[in-house]
């Protein structure tokens, strides 16, 4: 191998590392500012503080084919609700677990969780019922018409009595369903319910088939109530009922404390590893330590580039990978020592050490890679962050321990 | 260092460790965390500094509020001295109950900050448990397949599948001792068997195997080079000596970062880190002192 190539490679690595540092830690104004701004660190709720809510979606009343559209509608509605109280970048995702449908809402940095939970959960559920008389009692039969077909609503006052009432306007599909329902129920009672409560006043005898998709709910509201319900309807009524089944809240102060401590712990850990390597392996330890620093910058840059959400567990996985990253260097240096004992020159012993240690490096990383892949694909958020950073860490470390350390040693170790 | 000569001492130590660990699990049991059973974990910090009572006193009082005023049985309350807060564990509750309890506590103790509040319903708990079990099964399966692959080449005088069996026995040894350590931590500090611990266990499994594989790789390499000239005992001794520094240094660097995290890192990761550390040390010990000498038992006669 010529002398020029390792020097060339060395400068590329250094350049890459410097770029990575500025990208990861944009403290000074650099040409990479736009990128750093475009891709800021994404911090998990456990580090910035916030709420993680899991809702179960009750799909009992929804036909199988409609479920996807109900989920999409539900997501949109909740998003509108959440935006009403101004959370920066809320995350709302839906998930299917076996036969259950879930809605997962993450709100970063919100103070009044009580209010948030109330607003999300108590968005009124609008349903229409047909009735049939069984003996003396009235049975309510749910219809296909629900809040998901609602286009808008407004508050009205009865011309003569001045009682507030809510005017509903359905979309085209909803209008058609409403037309069918009223068509087949002429002379019978049809009821509208909010949040599963049916009041006598909410039922009306259908006089004739109603087209045009307009309906009214009358007679049970104070003006304030009516106003609140209308504003909620306009943010969207829930197309299916939801149920809060899990809630996690991390106070902002605990989150920031955790972040500070994790970074500090990681810093001390890295320093300790570097000190150990330099004391034990001297010059080679310096190369390994430099490679470790470059490794840290590169891994962080990759994590940031892919917008991986950094959670506490993710940081733990990364710090763990720092401890494991020098393993490859240790394997190589021990091998090099043996080759020197066998009588090889320093330079060829180093080359031989890198070559011979490779199978061990590969083998010893495979088990960690298997573990982190399985953890990533088969578990939940706490673990995913950990698995991802550990996996990326291990992969980068295989590159850094070999390419970076070898390049540096080729450049600096004299024949 | 003559490892083979003293192998029975190491076998004895490991047998004792294993028995103690199993006994610890049976005597103290493993406390499943709320993410597996469903339940509530609530960490509060009292901001009213006028309270002159000692921590233990407030601890009791919080417990009393739950048991007498709110009629919540089985509430446990731990003080957490470092952040001067209290950890409350109760069953799964709704948001209305949460607010009701919060009001009751505020009435009694003045203003407080909710550092953390987690409530997990039983369905989610069951799901997480299922996922954890699957992850453990898949990791053990994946690692076993990998071990079979790594030792696929036949070698003399120890058949290749025997390396695999010993690797797995060593793995179970490490896992059992780590679970034993958790049982002790649970008894002493209320540490629970939760998702975090499952992750720690899987990391330990990965580490245990990779350490053993590196030592075994060297033994097989030396067997090819020296067979005929040296006997198996000598080759095992040589191989362990050659990989000893690597094994120790590698776990030492890992232990150094873990120690830094343990002492300076966030509180919520403390026991997670401690368990991985225990597993790392046990894994290194077993790959050197247990796995390699075990090969002698499996030698082809």
Asked if the C-beta of B123 comes within 8 angstroms of chain A's C-beta atoms, the answer is yes
**A266 within 8 A of A320, measured Cβ to Cβ:** no
Do B21 and B65 have their domain in common? no
Same domain, B160 and B275: yes
**Shared-domain flag, residues A214 and A325:** no
Residue numbers in A near B263 (CB within 8 A): 265, 268
Q: How far is CA A411 from CA A11, A18, A270, A404, B238, in A?
A: 10, 19, 25, 11, 34
At residue B147, does pLDDT exceed 60?
Answer: yes
Assess whether A203 and A72 both reside in one domain. Answer: yes
- Among the partner residues B121, B259, B269, nearest to A312 by beta-carbon distance: B269
**Burial readout B115-127 (b: 16 or more C-beta within 10 A, e: otherwise):** bbbbbbbebbbeb
- Does the beta-carbon distance from A266 to B94 stay under 8 Å? no
Coil, strand, or helix at residue B52? coil
Do A101 and A137 belong to one domain? Answer: yes
CA distances from A229 to A47, A169, B66 (A): 36, 14, 36
* Same domain assignment for residues A204 and A134: yes
- pLDDT 10s digits, B276-286: 999 999 999 99
| Structural domains in chain B (count) | 2
- Residue B155, pLDDT > 70, answer no
Residue at token pair 């997962």 = A104
| B2 in a structural domain | no
> What torsion do the CA atoms of A233, A236, A240, A244 make, to the nearest 10 degrees?
-90
Q: A202 and A280 share a domain?
A: no
CA B26 to chain centre: 17
pLDDT of residue A392: 93
CATH number of residue A275's parent domain: 1.20.1640.10
Asked if the C-beta of B179 comes within 8 angstroms of chain A's C-beta atoms, the answer is no
State how far the Cα of B299 lies from the Cα of B301, in Å rounded to an integer. 6
Q: Kindly state whether residue B259 falls inside one of the protein's structural domains.
A: yes
* pLDDT at site A232: 63
pLDDT band, residue B184 (cuts 50/70/90): very high
Domain boundary among B96, B120, B144: B120
Asked if the Cβ–Cβ distance from A273 to B114 is below 8 Å, we say no
Q: Which of the listed residues B101, B120, B139 is the one where a domain comes to its end?
A: B120
Q: Are residues B75 and B209 in the same domain?
A: no
Domain end position, chosen among A217, A248, A279: A248
CATH code where residue B241 lies: 1.20.1640.10
User: How do residues A215-255 score in pLDDT, each as one tens digit?
Assistant: 777 656 777 777 766 766 666 667 777 888 888 888 888 88
* A155 close to B (CB below 8 A): no
B110 and B183 assigned to the same domain: no
Kindly determine whether residue A320 and residue B258, on different chains, have CB atoms separated by under 8 Å. yes
Digit-coded pLDDT (tens) for A107-143:
887 667 777 777 776 656 778 888 887 777 778 888 8
Over residues A8-19, mean pLDDT: 89
Q: Is B292 exposed, middle or buried (0-12, 13-18, 19+ CB in 10 A)?
A: buried
Q: Does A266 touch chain B (CB under 8 A)?
A: yes
Assess whether B55 and B116 both reside in one domain: yes
Residues of the domain holding B24:
7-31+124-298
What residues in B contact A53, CB-CB < 8 Å?
A: none
Q: Which of B95, B120, B145 is the last residue of a domain?
A: B120
Measured in angstroms, the CA of A47 and the nearest CA of chain B are apart by 11
Task: Determine how β-strand A150-157 pairs with β-strand A164-170.
Answer: antiparallel
> Are B195 and A383 inside 8 Å of each other by CB?
yes
pLDDT at site A1: 47
Task: Based on the fold, state whether residues B19 and B136 are members of the same structural domain.
Answer: yes
Task: Note whether residue B1 is domain-resident.
Answer: no
B212 vs A contacts (CB less than 8 Å): none
pLDDT tens digits for range A206-216: 777 888 888 77
ipTM of the assembly?
0.88
User: Dmax of chain A from CA atoms?
Assistant: 109
Q: Are residues B185 and B137 in the same domain?
A: yes
**Digit-coded pLDDT (tens) for B282-300:** 999 999 999 999 988 877 5
> Are B201 and B233 contained in the same domain?
yes
**Same-domain pairing of B245 and B203:** yes
Q: Are residues A111 and A136 in the same domain?
A: yes
Q: Using the beta-carbon criterion (under 8 Å), do A265 and B252 form an inter-chain contact? A: no
pLDDT beyond 90 at B24: yes
Say if residue A214 is in the same domain as residue A259: no
Domain holding A362, by residue range, is 4-46+251-412
**Which of A374, A384, A390, A394 should be substituted to probe chain B, the one whose Cβ sees the most B Cβ atoms within 10 Å?**
A374
Average confidence (pLDDT) over B192-198 = 88
- Give the distance from residue A324's alpha carbon to the nearest chain B alpha carbon, in angstroms: 6
Write down which residue in A248, A263, A298 finishes a domain.
Answer: A248
Examine the domain organization and report whether A69 and A201 are in the same domain. Answer: yes
Please indicate, yes or no, whether residues B194 and B160 belong to a single structural domain of this protein: yes
Q: Is residue A293 very low, low, confident or very high in pLDDT (cuts 50, 70, 90)?
A: very high
Identify whether residues A227 and A300 lie together within a single domain. no
Tokens (6 digits) for B20: 């103690």
Domain boundary among the residues A248, A273, A291 is at A248
Query: Looking at the structure, do residues A105 and A231 belong to the same domain, yes or no?
Result: yes
**Residue A317 corresponds to which tokens in the numbers above?**
């996985």
Q: HSE on the CB side for A303, CA within 13 Å?
A: 32
Give the range with max mean pLDDT: A10-19, A178-187, B36-45, B252-261.
B252-261
Assess whether B47 and B73 both reside in one domain. Answer: yes
pLDDT digits (tens, 9 = 90+) for A343-374: 888 889 988 899 888 888 887 788 889 999 99
Distance in angstroms (rounded) separating the CA atoms of residues B121 and B127: 10
Q: What is the spatial distance between Cα A265 and Cα B257, in angstroms, rounded to a whole number? A: 8
Question: What is the pLDDT at residue A361?
Answer: 85
| DSSP codes, A249-317 | EE-HHHHHHHHHHHHHHHHHHHHHHHHHHHHHHHHHHHHHHHHHHHHHHHHHHHHHHTT-EE-HHHHHH
| Dist. CA A211–CA A204, nearest whole Å | 16
Give the pLDDT score at B177: 96
Q: For the sheet containing A164-170, what is the strand order?
A: A150-157, A164-170, A214-218
A226 shares a domain with A268: no
CATH of the domain at B63: 3.30.70.3400
> How far, in Å, CA of A335 to CA of A352, rounded?
8
Is residue B289 in a domain? yes
Question: What is the count of structural domains for chain A?
Answer: 2
Residues A267 and A336 in one domain: yes
pLDDT, mean over chain A: 82
| Euclidean distance between CA atoms B11 and B233, whole angstroms | 16
CB A217 within 8 A of CB A168: yes
- Residues 2-41 of chain B with CB under 8 A from chain A are none
Evaluate whether residue B219 is within a structural domain. Answer: yes
Residue B176 lies in a domain: yes
Res. B1 pLDDT band, cuts 50 70 90:
low
Whose tokens are 């995913």? That residue is A384
Looking at residue B114, its pLDDT comes to 86
The answer to whether residues B113 and B26 belong to one domain is no
CATH number of the CATH domain containing A241: 3.30.1360.200
The region, left, alpha or beta by phi > 0 then psi within -120 to 50, assigned to residue B78 is beta
> Is B268's CB within 8 Å of A326's CB?
no
Compare CB distances from A253 to B113, B243, B252 and report the shortest one's residue: B113
**B207 lies in some domain:** yes
């Amino acid at each position: 191998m010529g002398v020029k190539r390792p020097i060339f490679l060395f400068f590329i690595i250094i350049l890459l590392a410097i770029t990575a540092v500025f990208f990861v830690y944009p403290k000074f104004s650099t040409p990479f500012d736009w990128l750093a701004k475009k891709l800021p660190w994404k911090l998990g709720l456990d580090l910035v503080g916030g709420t993680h809510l899991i809702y179960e979606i009750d799909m009992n009343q929804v036909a199988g084919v409609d479920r996807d559209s109900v989920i999409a509608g539900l997501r949109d509605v909740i998003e509108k609700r959440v935006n009403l109280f101004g959370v920066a970048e809320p995350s709302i995702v839906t998930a299917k677990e076996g036969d259950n449908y879930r809605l997962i809402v993450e709100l970063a940095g919100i103070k009044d969780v009580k209010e948030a939970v109330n607003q999300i959960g108590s968005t009124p559920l609008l349903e229409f019922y047909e009735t049939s008389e069984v003996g003396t009692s009235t049975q309510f039969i749910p219809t296909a018409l629900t809040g998901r077909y609602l286009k808008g609503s407004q508050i009205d006052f009865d011309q003569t009595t001045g009682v507030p009432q809510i005017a509903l306007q359905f979309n085209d599909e909803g209008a058609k369903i409403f037309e069918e329902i009223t068509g087949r129920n002429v002379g019978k009672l049809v009821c509208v319910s909010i949040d599963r409560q049916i009041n006598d006043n909410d039922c009306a005898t259908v006089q004739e088939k109603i087209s045009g998709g307009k309906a009214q709910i009358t007679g049970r509201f104070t003006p304030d109530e009516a106003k609140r319900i209308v504003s909620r309807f306009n943010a969207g009524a829930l197309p299916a009922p939801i149920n809060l089944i899990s809630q996690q809240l991390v106070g902002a102060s605990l989150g920031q404390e955790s972040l500070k401590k994790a970074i500090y712990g990681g810093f001390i850990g890295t320093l300790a590893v570097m000190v150990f390597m330099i004391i034990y392996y001297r010059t080679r330890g310096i190369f390994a330590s430099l490679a470790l620093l470059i490794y840290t910058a590169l891994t962080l840059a990759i994590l940031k580039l892919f917008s991986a959400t950094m959670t506490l567990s993710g940081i733990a996985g990364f710090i763990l990978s720092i401890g494991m990253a020098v393993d490859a260097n240790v394997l190589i240096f021990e091998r090099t020592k043996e080759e020197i004992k066998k009588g090889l020159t320093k330079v060829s012993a180093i080359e031989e050490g890198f070559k011979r240690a490779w199978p061990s490096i590969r083998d010893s990383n495979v088990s960690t890679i298997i573990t982190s892949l399985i953890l990533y694909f088969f578990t939940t958020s706490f673990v995913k962050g950990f698995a991802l950073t550990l996996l990326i860490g291990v992969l980068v470390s295989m590159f850094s321990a070999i390419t970076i350390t070898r390049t540096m040693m080729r450049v600096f170790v004299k024949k | 260092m003559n490892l083979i000569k003293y192998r029975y001492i190491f076998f004895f130590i490991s047998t004792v460790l294993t028995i103690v660990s199993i006994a610890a699990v049976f005597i103290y049991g493993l406390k499943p965390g709320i993410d597996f059973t469903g339940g509530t974990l609530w960490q509060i910090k009292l901001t009213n500094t006028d309270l002159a009572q000692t921590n233990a006193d407030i601890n009791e009082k919080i417990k009393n509020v739950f048991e007498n005023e709110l009629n919540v049985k089985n509430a446990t309350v731990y003080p957490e001295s470092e952040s001067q807060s209290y950890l409350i564990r109760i069953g799964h509750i709704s948001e209305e109950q949460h607010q009701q309890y919060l009001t009751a506590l505020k009435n009694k103790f003045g203003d407080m900050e909710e550092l953390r509040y987690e409530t997990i319903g039983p369905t989610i708990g069951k799901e997480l448990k299922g996922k954890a079990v699957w992850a453990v099964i898949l990791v053990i399966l994946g690692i076993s397949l990998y071990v079979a692959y790594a030792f696929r080449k036949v070698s003399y005088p120890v058949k290749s599948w025997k390396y695999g069996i010993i690797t797995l026995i060593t793995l179970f040894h490490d896992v059992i001792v780590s679970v034993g350590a958790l049982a002790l931590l649970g008894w002493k500090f209320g540490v629970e068997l939760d998702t975090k611990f499952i992750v720690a266990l899987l990391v330990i499994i990965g580490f245990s195997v990779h350490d053993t594989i590196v030592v075994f790789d060297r033994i097989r390499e030396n067997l090819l080079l020296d067979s005929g000239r040296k006997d198996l005992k000598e080759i095992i001794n040589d191989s362990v000596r050659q990989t000893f520094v690597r094994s120790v240094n590698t776990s030492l660097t890992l232990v150094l970062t873990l120690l830094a995290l343990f002492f300076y890192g966030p509180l919520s990761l403390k026991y997670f880190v401690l368990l991985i550390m225990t597993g790392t040390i046990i894994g290194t010990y077993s790959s050197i002192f247990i796995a390699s000498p075990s090969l002698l038992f499996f030698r082809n006669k």
